[in-house]
Amino acid sequence: MKIERFLEGLHEKMQDPDDVEYMTVIVPGDLDPFDRHYRFSIHIDAELRLTGLGCSVGGGTMFSEEDEDGESEILYCVCDVDATDVDGARALLRLHLPELGCPEGTLIHYGEDLEDRYEGETWVLAQPRTISED
């Protein structure tokens, strides 16, 4: 039995899509980049690819303003999402992020200035952005 028979049809899904809209998932807290990757990114990427809704291939960290000693605090970690269908990707993320253990205050940024906000048990949809990624 060769594994290739199970991989049939997956090659196309593993290619990064071309026509996408950029979104971000913003998770409150200080997560190590490896923790972010293994806790959120790989699962988000797999779900988006399998459903044909996009992919997730990267991320970063958002810091606070520097204090008087030049120190800053990590406020959020970011997972980048390239969505082929923003509404479909939003729905998928709202379903799976709580299953992955996202904390209250997790945000899904999309469009020019909109976000979906996780409030622990429910999502508040299509709200003006509460934080800026700049």
Q: Set out the domains of the chain in order of their start, with CATH numbers.
A: 20-127 (3.30.70)
At position 36, the amino acid (one-letter code) is: R
Phi, psi of 5 (to 5 degrees): -65, -25
**Confidence tier at 132 by pLDDT (50, 70, 90):** confident
Cβ neighbours of residue 75 under 8 Å, at least 6 residues apart? 28, 62, 63, 64
Q: pLDDT tens across 75-104, in order?
A: 899 999 999 999 999 999 999 999 999 999
Q: pLDDT tens across 15-46, in order?
A: 666 789 999 999 999 888 889 999 999 999 99
pTM of this prediction exceeds 0.95:
no
Burial readout 67-87 (b: 16 or more C-beta within 10 A, e: otherwise): eeeeeeeeebbbbbbbbbbbe
Q: How far apart are CA 16 and CA 130, in angstroms?
A: 30
